[in-house]
Structure formats: C-alpha cells, structure tokens
Amino acid sequence: MRELIKKLQAEARELIKDIKPSGDEGFDKYLDSDSEVKRKVNIAVKIGLNLCNSKKILDISTGCGWFPWVLRRMGHEIIYTDNLNERCTLSIQVRKALELNDCIDFVYKKTHQRERTDNSTIWPYRPLPDLGNFDIIAACSVTPHTFFDKASWHAFIGDALLRLHYKGFLYIAPNVSSGWNELRKVVESYRSTKALQGWKIYDYYHN
C-alpha cells in the first residue's frame, strides 16, 4: 500500500498545484493532498477495497472528491454526490483539477418547518435519488450540520438500505463525537429489527 499511496500522492500534488488556499483553514486542509490521499486509501483498505474485484460505490457528500478519485485509481466504479450550491468554491476547484466532472447534486434538505406526526416531530429530508444499487455506500467525515439528528440518520440509513446490494457495506463516519452518538442510537434500532443484518456501519471512533 505504501507504494500506491506514494504514487497517488505525487499524482495528486501535481494535479492541484495551481489551486490557491482560500484563507479558511477549515477548507484549506483539503489542499493537503498527501494526507487526504493517505486517509482515503486507508479507508479503502479498512473496507477491503484493495483486495477485491471492482465494486460499485456511492460516496455521499464527497467534498473535494478525494475518496472517488482514490477509488477510481484503485479500479472501482464510483458515483459521488454533494451539494453543488455549497459555498465552498475550493471543493469545486479541487474536483475540477481531479477531473471529477460528474458530481451529482444532492443535499439532504432540512427545511425549517417541522412536520408533526402522532407523537413525534420530524424534519423532512429529500430522499436519495435513484442512482442504481451499490456494493458500498459511504459518507466520510460527515458533519453534524449534514446529518445530525436521529431523523436524519434514519433517513440516511433507510435510503441506503434500499440501494445496497445484499451484503453491501454501509460506511458512515461522522467527524464529531456528537454525530456518532445520534448515529449509534439509530444503528442499534436497525440492528434490533435485523434490518441491518448483512450490513456494517463503520465506527470511526472505535476502529
């Protein structure tokens, strides 16, 4: 893997060399192509994507697109989405430099109007569009403003279960611990009804 990482790092450095930092540290960290490539290859290895034939993968909220870029180089077929109205122009620039020109516009839309059901309050979300079925659905480093409460995690996992092949792999890694707590509760409820049998949720904090 070390050789692959080195090779991809050199390639990535060259591809994004003309992109200027935006001045916002939160965004500019994605210009550190060496760490992004290493991190994404490591995720791929954890999921076993270095040891299998080509898989069909969906990456939700791809950001700069480092995960699809790495996975394509590893020979996988990948579709990726993000909110194309995202204020972060840096991610648009990086995706363009990485020749990722087919990002699908998809946002889990949280309206500011709550809808009441019998005994609970839910946020309505736009469902995942029909992009086919996948061996793996991933959401790497998603933040609480993206998927932050039980209703949104339910929407995310429910959507994914409809689109995953049998024994597919669901990889979700919230990048803050509060996101993980909400997610854990939802995963447990799916597991208790056996709806998640054959699928796995990746626990970023305990693996």
Ligand X SMILES: C[S@@+](CC[C@H](N)C(=O)[O-])C[C@H]1O[C@@H](n2cnc3c(N)ncnc32)[C@H](O)[C@@H]1O
Binding residues for ligand X, rule: CB under 6 A, are 61-63, 66, 82-83, 86, 91, 107-108, 140-143, 145-146, 175
Least Å distance, CB 193 to ligand X, is 26
Question: Could you tell me the smallest distance in angstroms from the CB atom of residue 108 to ligand X?
Answer: 4
Q: How far is the CB of 50 from ligand X (least distance, A)?
A: 18
Q: Which amino acid is at 122?
A: I
CB of 88 to ligand X, least distance (A): 6
| Residue nearest ligand X by beta-carbon distance | 63
Taken in order 8, 82, 103, 27, is the CA torsion positive or negative? negative
Which CB, 148 or 190, lies closer to ligand X?
Answer: 148
**Which of 32/188 has CB closer to ligand X?**
32
Which residue number, 23 or 118, has a Cβ lying nearer to ligand X?
Answer: 23
Angle at 103 between CA 168 and CA 44, to 5 degrees: 40
Question: CA-CA distance, 82 to 107, in Å (whole number)?
Answer: 6
Cβ nearer to ligand X, comparing 129 with 198: 129
Residue with smaller CB distance to ligand X, 81 or 168 = 81
Instruction: Return the number of other C-beta atoms located less than 10 Å from residue 177's C-beta.
Output: 10
Q: Give the chain's count of helices (H) and strands (E).
A: 7, 7
For the CB of residue 91, give the shortest distance to ligand X in the complex, in Å.
6
